[in-house]
Chains A and B, each alone.
Chain A
Amino acid sequence: MPSVMIRKETETGNLTLYIAKKDLEETVTSIEFDSEDRWGGQFDLADGSSYYIDPLDAPPKLPITLRAKRA
Chain B
Amino acid sequence: MTIDKSATDALIEEVLDVYPAKAKKDRTKHLASNDTEATKSCVTSNRKSLPGVMTARGCAYAGSKGVVWGPIKDMIHVSHGPVGCGQYSRAGRRNYYTGTTGVNAFGTMNFTSDFQERDIVFGGDKKLASIVDEIETLFPLAQGISIQSECPVGLIGDDIEAVAKTKGKEIGKTIVPVRCEGFRGVSQSLGHHIANDTVRDYVLEGAADKEQKREVGPYDVAIIGDYNIGGDAWSSRILLEQIGLNVVSQWSGDGTLPELENTPSVKLNLIHCYRSMNYISRHMEEKYGIPWMEYNLFGPTKCEESLRKIAAFFDETIQAKAEEVIAEYKKQWEPIVEKYKPRLQGKKVMLYVGGLRPRHVIGAYEDLGMEIVGTGYEFAHNDDYVKTATEVKDATLIYDDVTGFELEKFAEVIKPDLIGAGVKEKYIFQKMGIPFRQMHSWDYSGPYHGFDGFAIFARDMDMTLNNPCWDKLTAPWKKTEDEALAETA
The interface of chain A, by Cβ under 8 A from chain B, is 5, 7, 10, 18, 20, 23-27, 46-47, 63-65
A21 to chain B, nearest CB (A): 10
Kindly state the separation between the CA atoms of A27 and B38 in the bound complex, as whole angstroms.
Answer: 12
Contact with A along B359-398 (1 / 0, CB 8 A): 0000000000000000000000111001000000000000
Top 9 closest pairs, chain A to chain B, by CB = A25-B383, A46-B40, A63-B286, A46-B39, A47-B40, A63-B285, A23-B193, A5-B282, A23-B381
Contacts of A10 in B (CB 8 A): 291, 293
Contacts of A18 in B (CB 8 A): 282
Kindly state the separation between the CA atoms of A7 and B279 in the bound complex, as whole angstroms.
Answer: 13
Judged by a CB distance under 8 angstroms, whether B108 is at the interface is no
Judged by a CB distance under 8 angstroms, whether B190 is at the interface is yes
- B286 near A64 with CB under 8 A, answer yes
Judged by a CB distance under 8 angstroms, whether B46 is at the interface is yes
Judged by a CB distance under 8 angstroms, whether B249 is at the interface is no
- Contacts A63-B285, A63-B286 known; A23 to B189 CB distance under 8 Å? yes
- A27 near B286 with CB under 8 A, answer no
Contacts of A47 in B (CB 8 A): 40-41, 382
Residue of B nearest to A65 (CB): B286
A47 to chain B, nearest CB (A): 6
- B282 near A27 with CB under 8 A, answer no
The interface of chain B, by Cβ under 8 A from chain A, is 39-41, 46, 189-190, 193, 279, 282, 285-286, 291, 293, 381-383, 386
- A27 near B189 with CB under 8 A, answer no
Residue of A nearest to B289 (CB): A61
Kindly state the separation between the CA atoms of A47 and B386 in the bound complex, as whole angstroms.
Answer: 11
Contacts of B189 in A (CB 8 A): 23
Residue of A nearest to B286 (CB): A63
B268 to chain A, nearest CB (A): 11
Contacts of B383 in A (CB 8 A): 25-26
Kindly state the separation between the CA atoms of A24 and B185 in the bound complex, as whole angstroms.
Answer: 13
Contacts of A64 in B (CB 8 A): 286
B176 to chain A, nearest CB (A): 20
B252 to chain A, nearest CB (A): 20
Contacts of A25 in B (CB 8 A): 381-383
Contacts of B190 in A (CB 8 A): 23
Kindly state the separation between the CA atoms of A10 and B291 in the bound complex, as whole angstroms.
Answer: 9
- Contacts A23-B193, A24-B382 known; A7 to B39 CB distance under 8 Å? no
* 12 more CB-based (< 8 A) A-B contacts, given A7-B282, A27-B39, A63-B285: A5-B282, A10-B291, A10-B293, A18-B282, A20-B279, A23-B46, A23-B189, A23-B193, A24-B46, A27-B40, A47-B41, A64-B286
A4 to chain B, nearest CB (A): 11
Residue of B nearest to A46 (CB): B40
Query: Among the interface residues A10, A20, A23, A27, which one has the most CB atoms of the partner chain B within 10 A?
Result: A23
A50 to chain B, nearest CB (A): 14
Kindly state the separation between the CA atoms of A44 and B383 in the bound complex, as whole angstroms.
Answer: 16
Contacts of B39 in A (CB 8 A): 27, 46
Contacts of A63 in B (CB 8 A): 282, 285-286
8 A-B pairs, CB-CB below 8 angstroms?
A10-B291, A23-B189, A23-B190, A23-B381, A24-B46, A24-B381, A25-B383, A27-B386
